[in-house]
């Protein structure tokens, strides 16, 4: 991955039709999306620190509230057939070594929290994520991680199409630049979900 220049994570968020939604803790889960060393180490400080701090705060909030925490992670060393069209845009991707595939220490699963294999932009493709949510009666999905304009946006749209309400944490996701970050949040707010900050989430779902 090429280095990603630091920018300030937004503390404000765009308004949209989803602003009437409130996270229902009894029917919610937190999705920690692709917070793997391969992706996160590309961010230059202080963006990397701000992102990890934000996602760690979201994980702490969910665990304290007894809200399920779920993860996605790419397997690494995927074959051309496994990667499909991803290869045309992103090349071979990460290796299957711990330095690439490992989830960042501060937000790592606790051992009981499931990790779903990430095959495509959407977190729902080719794994049991939707089944796990349905089985637990979850219809609110809080999303944190990377990248805002790719997997985060696509997962929010896919959740919406499955009648699962997506909540994207504006200060707990990051992108390749500030413009892409802002555009992704705006798209979610306009068309598929609610965008809010971690502080707003903590207050509204208390």
Domain boundaries, the chain: 24-204
pTM of the model: 0.93
- Among residues 15, 19, 34, 140, the one annotated as catalytic is 34
Give 177's Cβ-side CA count (13 Å radius).
3
Q: What is the pLDDT along the chain (206 residues), one digit of tens a residue?
A: 789 999 999 877 888 888 999 999 999 999 999 999 988 999 999 999 999 999 999 999 999 999 999 999 988 667 777 777 776 677 666 666 667 888 999 999 998 999 999 888 899 998 999 999 999 999 999 999 999 999 999 999 999 999 999 999 999 999 999 999 999 999 999 999 999 999 999 987 66
Q: What are phi and psi of 31, to 5 degrees?
A: -105, 115
Q: 34 an active-site residue?
A: yes
CB 149 within 8 A of CB 185: no
Q: Give 194's strand partners.
A: 167
Q: What's the farthest any 2 CA atoms get from each other in the chain?
A: 45
The confidence score (pLDDT) of residue 17 equals 84
- Find the helix or strand (DSSP H, E) in which 99 lies: helix 98-101
Cα–Cα separations (whole angstroms), residue 88 to 63, 78, 81, 83, 93: 38, 13, 12, 9, 11
- CATH 3.40.50.850 holds for 24-204: yes
Task: Round to whole Å and give the CA distance between 118 and 66.
Answer: 25
């Amino acid at each position: 991955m090429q280095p990603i220049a630091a920018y300030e994570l937004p503390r404000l968020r765009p308004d949209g039709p989803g602003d009437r939604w409130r996270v229902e803790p009894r029917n919610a889960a937190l999705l920690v999306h692709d917070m793997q060393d391969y992706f996160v180490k590309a961010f230059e400080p202080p963006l990397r620190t701000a992102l990890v701090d934000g996602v760690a705060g979201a994980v702490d909030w969910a665990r304290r509230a007894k809200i399920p925490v779920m993860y996605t992670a790419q397997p690494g060393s995927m074959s051309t057939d496994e990667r499909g069209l991803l290869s045309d845009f992103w090349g071979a991707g990460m290796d299957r070594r711990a330095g690439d595939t490992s989830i960042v220490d501060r937000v790592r699963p606790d051992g009981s929290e499931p990790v779903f294999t990430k095959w495509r932009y959407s977190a729902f493709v080719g794994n049991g994520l939707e089944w796990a949510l349905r089985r637990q009666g979850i219809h609110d999905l809080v999303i944190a991680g990377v990248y805002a304009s790719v997997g985060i946006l696509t997962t929010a749209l896919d959740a919406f199409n499955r009648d699962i309400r997506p909540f994207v944490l504006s200060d707990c996701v990051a992108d390749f630049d500030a413009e892409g970050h802002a555009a992704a949040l705006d798209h979610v707010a306009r068309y598929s979900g609610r965008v809010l900050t971690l502080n707003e989430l903590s207050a509204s779902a208390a």
